[in-house]
Structure 1
Amino acid sequence: MSRYHPLLVALHWLLAIAILVALFMGTFSLAETPNSDPNKIFGLRGHMSVGISILVLMLIRVITRFASTRPPKVETGNALIDTAGSVAHVGLYVLVFAMCISGLALANLAGLPGIVFGGYGTLPADFSEYGPRAVHGIIAKLLMALVLLHVAGALYHQFIRKDGLIRRMWFGNRKS
């Protein structure tokens, strides 16, 4: 077998898009919009919806990953690079889950579910008074760095090693 399960492939690419959208929204849109701006609630609604979707899809991904067979690990011949790749993959899972949990904690402490989805109450003047806000921001930066490292690793395999690694996380016959 040379490819991942089709559901894992679909979840990988769907999550890649969702995570990039959530990181972009949080970093470049929500962070720049004051809480007094009426558009902030619309942005939070989108950000929180994407974040909750990411959490659900990640749970499905973890279950599918353990329930399905996987292709053998690709080895580069360099133990340090191979270990870094494994650690980076675990790190992606940990950071995405931590991002979702810190987002949920922040939302609950700030009363956002009722404000954003129920239409009652007002946003606090600033989210920085809530501890999970700082954690959420730090995790976002770490996640961005690890995503960049992940993409760099995939490009290294594709264009320097030319070992077909990216094909494993694409659709097609699992035996080819």
Structure 2
Amino acid sequence: MTQRYENRQIALHWIIVVLIALQFVLHDPISEAFDEVVDGAAPAFSPFVGLHIFVGFCVFALMLVRLNLRMSLGAPPAPDAEPPLFQKLAKIAHWAFYALVICMPVSGAVAWFRASESAADAHEVMKFLLLALIAAHVGGVVVHQFVWKTNLIQRMLLKR
């Protein structure tokens, strides 16, 4: 089994990271427009709303590609220095990422195109879960790099 991800897996990871960060920046305009829709008004045109929808679709599609690559190519094994409990937690966290990043665009689309407040509420809950996972993920990378000194970050840098 390989000790690092393939370049296309790595590229997809970082592209999705950037797109998700953009989604957080674009949150307020679509949230305001959604409130107008729920109140029965037609929202004022905003390119940021359209961009949020488009980027959400891109995240969904790219995450499906990423999941397909993960299923076909696998993932490198956990470093030997990583305690077994953290290996299990990392696996759970990675699969939770896949689930959330696939379900969030679906819930967002249902909320927007069906004016569904329950889908919007689910979307908001998933947003906070995703933020918590991101914090845990970054924390795990820091622990790997500076406490366990596994140099794990090298597995997610593009090969030249």
Q: Same fold (TM over 0.5)?
A: yes
Residue 126 of structure 1 corresponds to none
Encode CA deviations 1:126-174: one digit per residue, 9 max, x unaligned. Answer: xxx621011111111111111111111111111221111110011127x
Pick the structure with greater CA Rg: 1
Q: Which amino acid aligns with 2:18?
A: I
Instruction: State the partner residue of 1:172.
Output: 159
Matched with 1:113 is: none
Partner of 1:12: 13
Unpaired stretches in structure 1, ≥5 consecutive residues? 111-128
Q: Is 1:42 matched up with 2:47?
A: yes
Is the counterpart of residue 88 in structure 1 residue 93 in structure 2? yes
Partner of 2:129: 142
Q: How far did 1:47 drift?
A: 0.5
- Percent identical among aligned pairs is 29
Report the CA distance shift for 1:160/1:29 in structure 2 as closer, same or farther (over 3 A): farther
Distance 1:75 1:102, change over 3 A: farther
Query: What's 2:73 paired with?
Result: 68
RMSD of aligned C-alpha atoms? 2.1
Gaps of 5+ in 2: 37-41
Q: How many residues align?
A: 153
* TM-score of the pair, normalised by structure 1: 0.78
Paired position in structure 2 for 1:106: 111
1:3 CA displacement? 1.4
Does the residue aligned with 1:161 lie in a helix, a strand or coil? coil
Aligned position for 2:4: 3
Q: Which has the higher contact order (CA 8 A, sep 6+)?
A: 1
Matches within 5 A, 1:114-125: none
